[in-house]
Amino acid sequence: MEERLGDRIRALRKHAGMPAAELARRVALSRNQLYMIESNKTPDPGSFTVLALAEEFGVTTDYLLTGKRTIRTSPKRLRPRTAAPVG
């Protein structure tokens, strides 16, 4: 069976040893909303909710949504812009 968003959230919460009520409080959800997400009964929990959950667990939103671990890299260092020569 394919792992879904709710499955990944539940696994992260259990790995952290956090009760559902505590996670719900930390990300400003009701306990029932969190239950619905973790049981995959909410088709779209909303971008702000997914972002809050990702930040709480220290993972990327990509991981929560797809299950793929991505490595965040810093943007390429851009050369500073210089003023155009005058004259």
| Domain range annotation of the chain | 5-66
pLDDT, tens digit, 9 for 90 and up, residues 23-60: 999 999 999 999 999 999 998 899 999 999 999 999 99
Angular region, 41: left φ>0, alpha ψ -120 to 50, beta rest: alpha
pLDDT of residue 65: 92
The pTM (predicted TM-score) of the whole model is 0.76
Instruction: Give the length of the chain.
Output: 87
Topology of domain 5-66, per CATH?
434 Repressor (Amino-terminal Domain) (1.10.260)
Which residue in 32, 26, 30, 28 sits closest to 13, CA to CA? 26
User: How far is residue 22's CA from residue 74's CA, in Å, rounded to a whole number?
Assistant: 32
Helix (H) or strand (E) holding 26: helix 20-26
Q: How many CA atoms lie within 13 A of 80 on its CB side?
A: 2
Average pLDDT over residues 1-27: 94
